[in-house]
Structure 1
């Protein structure tokens, strides 16, 4: 089961910040504080001073909920790590992007799908997404995909391979192009990429995305509750 978590951490290290591991915990130092978190790996690990977000995994050990409540943390969302068999699929393969311009288009779709226009930090987010896409599209363990409609970048996803696991990340469609099956086509490509291995993704428990992926054959592998200081 650790292989699924390792894949997720590899994505965070490549696209969201830095991952530091010790025998007792994993620290994610994000490009933005929103992505930063600490993951305990033993029941008696010491909570690092200044920690604002803690993510629990099945290997964290018992008693953490009570410890965190006593330290002033509140439960927030639960991230569900899901897995599905990489079934064979029909249709034509999609070619990964291969130029900086395509990477910028990839980031444009991410921004249009995930960012609010009134976010005061929107330009920082856009720049960060462009930087990460340009940095990562040529990495041998990653494939970034862009689907276009009449030349306009419309939908994206990326897959990241770590050992026998293929992780699906950044599934995004511009609002104007939703409901056309573009995300399904990209997920089919991810299944091709995972042929012979394990296929994983993460969603927030109770979300529309979780319900969609359950319909597509994904099943929960483990849950990761999040706790934050108010």
Structure 2
């Protein structure tokens, strides 16, 4: 199972680059997100206490036994379960894509990300618009990342991001504007991720039971491990 910990390491590296700060100790991993939704503590052994002030705990298979009962007794409630998935990397049909290389494309990347994940009536949409723009501009030149953008008739329409750690290639920010869904754009971007990861491990995370999980299963991804979340009531 510890061989699969490298998939979590890739995800944590992405979070550190795009969502906040990640601090590791022998007892656990503290993720302090730019938004509280991304903040959590991950135990790495069964015989430690939850740090004071922790509002969300994320479990991984090597957290040890008994955590779910302990967290429930402490008032935490089950929340979403992330499934870490993996698919064979390698050749894929289609024309190879080039990652974005300009500030203009980075801003377009963030525009698609905002439009795909948040509605204009979301109370936090403006905060996220600025935050995602800042992250795209900061990261698109990073040597461990490739940000991809597809346009339709010149309009930014679909995006994804590939984040590399050693021989693990993580897929993040798979998003298409609502008006352009159903055209195979995300599949084209996933094909590029397969090409980029040739010779390595291709991974992503998805909410268990979601339509996205069913899609990735159809595309050949397989579950590797589950990561249940527990949160204190607001």
Gaps in structure 1 of 5+ consecutive residues: none
Q: How many residues align?
A: 230
Show the counterpart of 1:229: 232
Question: What TM-score do the two structures reach when normalised by structure 1?
Answer: 0.99
Show the counterpart of 2:41: 38
Gaps in structure 2 of 5+ consecutive residues: none
Deviation at 1:116, TM superposition (A): 2.0
Show the counterpart of 1:156: 159
1:55 pairs with one of 52, 55, 58: 58
- Does structure 1 retain, via aligned residues, the 8 Å contact 2:90–2:196? no
Q: How does 1:205-216 map to 2 (within 5 A)?
A: 205-216=208-219
Show the counterpart of 1:95: 98
SS of aligned partner of 2:224: strand
Q: Distance in 2 between matches of 1:121 and 1:223?
A: 29
Show the counterpart of 1:29: 32
2:193 pairs with one of 172, 190, 193: 190
Is residue 136 of structure 2 the alignment partner of residue 133 of structure 1?
yes
Runs of 4+ in 1 over 4 A off after TM superposition: none
- 1:73-93 deviations in whole A, cap 9, x for unaligned? 000111000001103112211
Q: Distance in 2 between matches of 1:185 and 1:23?
A: 41
Is residue 19 of structure 2 the alignment partner of residue 7 of structure 1?
no
Question: What TM-score do the two structures reach when normalised by structure 2?
Answer: 0.97
Deviation at 1:122, TM superposition (A): 1.1
Is residue 112 of structure 2 the alignment partner of residue 104 of structure 1?
no
Cα RMSD of the aligned pairs, angstroms, is 0.6
Deviation at 1:220, TM superposition (A): 0.3
